[in-house]
Amino acid sequence: MRVLFCSKHGALLGLVYMAALALLICGGLAVLPKVYSEPVLAEAYRCGAADSDEVSLSFNVDWGEEYLPDILALLAEKDVKATFFLTGRWCDNNPQLAADIAAAGHELGNHGYSHASPNASGEAEIVAEIERTAEAIRNAAGVDARLYAPPGGESEEHVLAAAKRAGCETVLWSVDTIDWQQPDADTVLQRVTTQLQGGAIILAHPTACTLEALPGIIEDARAKGYRFVTVSENLGL
């Protein structure tokens, strides 16, 4: 290989180039971001079949642990199984609560480790976040999380591909409570009941307003002939 450099500026560039080449030769690739050459086709699921009598409650959990015991007690009382998407950092800080959710028969999903923006992250970074979270969930609750709910619902093509590489299916929602804005319980209830249809995935968080609205949400859905199942059951995954 022949490389020519002219001027002091060119000589400096040459030194940088040769240093980078030396890193590659000596194994520097190990510290560079992983680049995937093979494309992966993936999709995001927003709901199950519209003609189904099944609907799902999904809770994204990165905070709000103070409301979870009461939410779990209410779901047990109403005989409802839900899906809880946990961040890895939350799981590491609340392992007993994560274990309690799984022990109650609910499904655990992956919500990334640090709630970082997936769209603004590289594919390898997203894979690492998902895998680190999977390990945290496994350590706390002894289960494998097969579903991934990207923070903020961010789902550009590389996000879906990363989830697939990490062994997960990406799940979004069809009904949003927007409960993180802390509206009153009647607003949360109305948002759900006016949008509910077969196969719906209802997005919620552990908040006071959702806890208060849950009995009405469950009662309304059942009065319309719907039954509650986990997200993976709803989607047939």
| Residue 122 in this model has a pLDDT that exceeds 70 | yes
Q: Are 152 and 126 part of one and the same domain?
A: yes
| pLDDT confidence of residue 42 | 76
Q: Are 22 and 60 part of one and the same domain?
A: no
Length of the chain: 237
| Residue 23 in this model has a pLDDT that exceeds 50 | no
Q: Are 99 and 17 part of one and the same domain?
A: no
**Higher pLDDT, residue 107 or 37:** 107
Q: How far apart are CA 161 and CA 159, in angstroms?
A: 5
Q: Are 10 and 70 part of one and the same domain?
A: no
Q: Which residues form the domain of 21? A: 1-32
The pTM for the full model equals 0.84
If you average pLDDT over every residue of the chain, what do you get?
A: 88
Q: Are 196 and 86 part of one and the same domain?
A: yes
Residue 39 belongs to a domain = no
Strand partners, 57: 202
Q: Which of 207, 200, 92 is nearest to 139 (CA)?
A: 92
Q: Are 131 and 231 part of one and the same domain?
A: yes
Q: Are 28 and 48 part of one and the same domain?
A: no
Q: Are 77 and 143 part of one and the same domain?
A: yes
21-60 as b/e: b if 16+ CB within 10 A: eeeeeeeeeeeeeeeeeeeeebebbbbbeeebebbbbbbb
- List pLDDT tens digits, range 82-91: 999 999 999 9
Residue 158 belongs to a domain = yes
